[in-house]
A and B are shown apart, each in its own frame.
Chain A
Amino acid sequence: MTTVRIPPTLRPDADGQREVTAGGSTVREVLGEVGERFPRLGARILDNGNIAAFVNVYVGGEDIRTQDGLETAVAEGSTVILLPAMAGGAG
């Protein structure tokens, strides 16, 4: 199984969970399973079968945009990080 970390702003779409586990050997399979369990989250992060432009996805510390995109291999026991930008700082 793979651990998928959910950022704070997307947690309301994942029953408030900080991380979820899912099966699959590629990012597409893992996020597909997450999207089936949490359809609103799936709709946010997957856009016509691609990753939404505002979300970065990391596997093994590397951005999948610099790897094989959604086809990037996910090893058993690894962690997938979903990461949108955060603005907060001063206010």
Chain B
Amino acid sequence: MSQVEQSLELDAPAARELLARDENAVLVDVRGEDEWAGGFIPGAVLVPLRELTERIGDVVPDRSRNVVLYCAVGARSLRGARALAELGYERPVSLAGGIVDWLTRGYPSTLERTLEPEQRERYSRHVLIPEVGEAGQLKLLDTSMLLIGAGGLGSPSALYLAAAGVGRLGIVDDDVVDESNLQRQVLHSTARLGEPKAESAKRTLTELNPDVEVLTFQERITSENVDRILAEGWDVIVDGADNFPTRYLINDASVWHDIPVVHGSIYRFEGQTTVFKPHDGPCYRCLFPQPPPPELAPSCAEGGVLGVLPGVIGSLQANEALKLALGAGDPLIGRLLLFDALSTSFTEVAIRRDAGCPVCGDNPTITEYVDYVQFCAAQ
């Protein structure tokens, strides 16, 4: 390339700097109307290359001005810059690499945002699915999900949600990694024994996918802190709690904050999952108005659980959470899915919104947090 040709081109950083520095500089898009309609660099005027020599006198009467031309990748705009130089323009330049290179650098445009090249590779199997595609993947990257518990259910769901590129994951867990957890809690490892589960989860998820921002809440969710935690702005709550007081608390809070909850619970060989979408379907209290008496409510620590069971139910929860974020398919709203690992069978039962529900019903009687431990013990 000759010296003259070189002076007719500017790379994107130099062009951006010139446009920022010289407010009289004119940015000209020499592509066609169709391309322009798909998005352009803010501040540009459209003068298609075939009309350039004819119209440039009206658009830029002052031939001493800086004129930056661009097209898709820089070929047409270089021809345009040569044409302007021949017309006597003193400083015409072509944006090398065009708007494509400009966008790749993340510079502003009116175009819809696109995936970075590495993201296009990482999420290529999602992008190939019509129900997801590039737009869906961008939606996932903009989605925030809060996981209650980084244990049995939280492990598989968090791993799949992070791998899927859900942009922001919150992890609430006040526990530390114990040897008895490792039979099923695949977020953690032998090397992490004694570490807070929230921190261990954050390390695993960030190593899996650096696109994901992980917020940790090393505390047990209670009536006192639930509003603060939910105020961080979550699109979906994935409930993998291990006790009834937390389940009822999450339910009431989610109804009042209007956040859908993907519910999962497990015991021995059996699991349940459903989606509670406030005001759109039933809530946890519509399904289970009362918890069982304490002697019929053993935890997995007391009664045991097959290690792979949370893998099945937690993965189903991740599936529901992703569908909610994408707006794809039919989520398990108003449907409770029961899984029996011994018979390897799924059963679905209907759940209906209860108009008399004390929290989401027509005339709610519970309108603020109660003492959930006492509520569950009193049954």
Contact = CB atoms under 8 A, between A and B. Distances in A.
A61 B350 contact: yes
B338 A83 contact: yes
Contacts of B269: 8
B298 interface: yes
Given A54-B290, A54-B296, A61-B349, A90 B150 contact: yes
Interface string B291-309: 1110011111101010000
Interface string A39-63: 0000010000000011110100111
Contact of B242 (A63, A81, A88): A88
Nearest to A85: B288
Contact of A61 (B148, B264, B348): B348
B349 A63 contact: yes
B181 to A, nearest CB: 8
Given A9-B296, A54-B292, A83-B338, A89 B349 contact: no
Given A8-B268, A8-B269, A58-B349, A90 B241 contact: yes
Contacts of B149: 89-90
Given A81-B349, A83-B338, A86-B267, A91 B288 contact: no
A88 B292 contact: no
Given A56-B287, A84-B296, A89 B266 contact: yes
A41 to B, nearest CB: 11
B192 to A, nearest CB: 16
A44 B379 CA distance: 13
B152 interface: yes
B265 interface: yes
A18 B149 CA distance: 30
Contacts of B293: 54
B175 A87 contact: no
Contacts of B305: 88
Interface residues of A, number: 25
Interface size class of B (residues with CB under 8 A): 35 or more
Given A54-B292, A84-B296, A85-B265, A91 B301 contact: yes
Contact of A89 (B241, B270, B289, B348): B241
Contacts of B212: none
Contacts of B266: 86, 88-89
A54 B291 contact: yes
Given A8-B268, A9-B297, A85-B288, A90 B152 contact: yes
B310 interface: yes
Contacts of B303: 8-9, 88
A85 B376 CA distance: 12
Interface string B328-350: 00000000001000100001111
A63 B336 CA distance: 11
B134 interface: no
Interface in B73-96: none
Given A8-B267, A8-B303, A89-B149, A44 B349 contact: no
A85 B242 contact: no
B250 to A, nearest CB: 11
A55 B264 CA distance: 18
B349 A62 contact: yes
Contact of B292 (A18, A81, A85, A91): A85
Given A8-B270, A9-B297, A87 B291 contact: yes
A22 interface: no
Contacts of A54: 288, 290-293, 296, 379
A91 B244 contact: no
A35 B269 CA distance: 25
Nearest to A79: B347
A61 B290 CA distance: 20
Contacts of A53: 289-290, 379
14 contacts: A9-B267, A44-B296, A55-B292, A56-B287, A56-B288, A61-B347, A84-B288, A87-B241, A89-B151, A89-B241, A89-B265, A90-B154, A90-B175, A91-B242
